[in-house]
A and B are shown apart, each in its own frame.
Chain A
Amino acid sequence: MSALNNPVIALVVSLIITVGYFVLVDHYLMDMQGLDFWYLFKN
């Protein structure tokens, strides 16, 4: 638990969780509407 309180580790862990969450949210919500999120990059 105290390792988590180390600022660097906390930052890295937070980034992983947060970025992963937002990527999932973006993809899932666009998929749910039947739209292609990676439209631009696929072309």
Chain B
Amino acid sequence: MGLLAGKRVFSIVALCMMVGLLLLPVVVALPSLAIGEETHAGDAAKKDGDKIEKGRDVYYKTEGIVSGAPAPKTTDGVKDYPRYNFESRVLLWFANQQHLYYGSFVLAVPIFCMIIEFMGVVTKDKALAKRYDQLAYDFIKISLTAYSLTAILGGILIFTFLTLYPAFFSYLSGIFRPVMHIYALMFVAESGTLYIYYYGWDKMREGFLKWIHLSMSVVLNVIGTLLMFLANSWIGFMMSPAGVDEQGRYLGNIWHVIHTALWNPLNLHRILGNMAFGGGVVAAYAAYKFLASKTDEDRAHYDWMGYIAMALGVAFLIPLPFAGYWLMREVYAYRQQMGITLMGGLLAWLFIIQATMIGILFLCTNYYLWQAMGRMRGAEKYQRYIKYLVFLLACGFVVFITPHTMVMTPAELKAMGGQQHPVLGNYGVMSAKNGGINVIITTTVLSFVWYMRGNKVSTVSWAKFGNIFMGVFFGCAYFNIIFLAVYGYYIPANVRVGLSVPQVATTLSCLFFMFALNSVMMRGAKQMGAIEWGKISARSQYALIMLATAFTWMMALMGYIRSSVRLFWHVNEIMRDNSPWAYTHTVGFAANMISANVLFFWITILFVFWLGSLTAKKVPVESKAGIPGSVPQPAPSH
């Protein structure tokens, strides 16, 4: 016992030392950040003979000592915008998007691993626990190459900035100097943690060391998330600058520069988006392997893997529209003009495309769940109600994608009697669209609940009441959402905007309460038939691939929108873009670029997966032990 306790103490100490060493550079750098700028400015002021210039922060309106150069006034030419015989902006766009794709992927996968490894530790079913653990290990293995690709693409991105936009980048890096150094140091921390996490997996398999291993996954995710937050501060600054005066001179407060108006909405939106995207990519990988499988065992394994990846991705997809809505609200509150450019003006059609893609995402999710119910013996009782879910989804989708400004010929315009259609024009405004998307999400929740109780019959004493309660709850939820959507038309805009919060709360109530109630009702439930993993239709796997493609396309679309909303500014209202490409691309060109980015990403990620599978062939038979031949069902609580 003494030896065991000693080992525990040693492992804890080792973990703390490791974390401490990795974060040491950050901790040491922090005080100098706070002090360094002021003393430097103070020195400079003393040299100038006590001429301390003060400036007012454009956003926080506080006063600060000017301690940086003003934003450069660039001119079109080789000094500020050196170029190839090609539009520099497109090159930068490409490098940026690929880096973002891979960055998002490597941030999402460790979160998956953390969740799945945790499920493997707490699951009581031993065989299932082993499968979860193996799955988490497989995820990390196939994505290992992605980490180096992310770093490579980041390097390419920085080089592109340096060589094609030197004036802008020197300005930005001048302000964000400490942030960029910390960013680089955190890469060291992340790599260190990742390698110990991955290579130490087998050694830290049992007992207390397993908990240490799990803690490492948490540390890995914290570092990854912080990395993203730091990168978000740069784009937040470009969109909604703070911490500088109107000339762009840094005022000494690094926190103001980081914590701009849009920083936190971006942070939240990007965490959720990364997870949804990562889930989609892994699910598509599983779908492909399923379709290419030659044995029933393989098919069962990849069916299960696809389900888990999809479930995790969709779990983070559900709050994503709300995070996006918060982001838009903050954009509108910061600069009404920017908000109108986004959704009412130049970029409005891109938002209609986004609405279409969101609808596709939810439609694919629902479709996959119905197919998944098809492989549950005993779930037949839900089949005939699926057409009503289809109808609800279709109505919500149709309302969601109706544009406010319609594409029409002048003859159609005359027939309509005006620019707005008296009926459909009402679908074109936010009040209806919030209702539409909430109906879609609630229907997705309903599909999920049906899936989770598909082949079971509740045996609790209050089962009938429980079923009726769930039906009434969903019905009232739909009614409440639609009522709020209609009510919004009769009240002024500033009150209507607030209605989205109760609508969201209604949808999320369905999610949390109905899932919880369902789990309680399904305790000790009678199972009518087995889940036949591997017997799912091929169409469902195509739905998963469609899901991943839609996620990828949407990410590039929204990234393009985020960038173009700055119009002819490098840094909004501070540093003007005087390059020859300070215009907004046509929607068609943007769509083509986005598709090219998506295609390139998928080709390269397939290469990454192939590399991962090369090592898989050398792994001994031990990995097959996890695949049960006789117990294909996951734990009842899932």
User: Contact residues of A with B, CB < 8 Å?
Assistant: 1-2, 4-5, 7, 10-11, 13-15, 17-19, 21-22, 25-26, 29-30, 32-33, 35-36, 39-40
Contact = CB atoms under 8 A, between A and B. Distances in A.
B322 to A, nearest CB: 13
A25 B512 CA distance: 14
A29 B471 CA distance: 24
Given A21-B509, A25-B505, A29-B505, A10 B498 contact: no
Given A14-B471, A18-B469, A30-B502, 7 more contacts: A4-B464, A11-B472, A18-B472, A22-B477, A26-B484, A30-B498, A39-B495
Contacts of B86: none
B509 A4 contact: no
A28 to B, nearest CB: 9
A34 B501 CA distance: 12
A14 B468 contact: yes
B42 to A, nearest CB: 43
B468 A18 contact: no
A5 B464 CA distance: 5
A25 B495 contact: no
A5 B468 CA distance: 9
Contact of A40 (B473, B491, B502, B505): B491
Contacts of B471: 14
B509 A10 contact: no
A17 B465 CA distance: 12
23 contacts: A1-B462, A2-B461, A5-B464, A5-B465, A10-B464, A10-B469, A14-B465, A14-B471, A14-B472, A17-B469, A18-B473, A19-B476, A22-B476, A25-B505, A26-B480, A29-B501, A29-B505, A30-B498, A35-B494, A39-B491, A39-B495, A40-B487, A40-B490
Contact of A14 (B463, B469, B502, B506): B469
Interface string B457-494: 00001111100110111001100100010010011101
B477 to A, nearest CB: 7
Interface of B: 461-465, 468-469, 471-473, 476-477, 480, 484, 487, 490-492, 494-495, 498-499, 501-502, 505-506, 509
A29 B491 CA distance: 17
Contact of B462 (A5, A11, A29, A30): A5
A13 B572 CA distance: 56
A18 B476 contact: yes
A7 B468 contact: yes
Nearest to A32: B501
A7 B465 CA distance: 7
Nearest to A11: B468
B502 A25 contact: yes
A30 B465 CA distance: 31
Contacts of A19: 476
A10 B468 contact: yes
A14 B462 contact: no
Contacts of A5: 462-465
B480 A22 contact: yes
Contacts of A11: 468, 472
Scoring B464, B468, B469, B505 by chain A CB atoms within 10 A of each residue's CB, the highest score goes to B468
B310 to A, nearest CB: 29
Contacts of A22: 476-477, 480, 506
A36 B499 CA distance: 10
A35 B472 contact: no
A8 to B, nearest CB: 10
A25 B509 CA distance: 10
A26 B483 CA distance: 11
Contacts of A33: 498, 501
B332 to A, nearest CB: 15
Nearest to A4: B465
A19 B469 CA distance: 11
Given A15-B472, A35-B495, A30 B501 contact: yes
Contacts of A40: 487, 490-491
Contacts of B491: 39-40
Nearest to A9: B465
Contacts of A26: 480, 484, 502
B491 to A, nearest CB: 5
A32 B498 CA distance: 10
A13 B501 CA distance: 26
A41 B501 CA distance: 20
Contacts of B477: 22
B506 to A, nearest CB: 7
A30 to B, nearest CB: 6
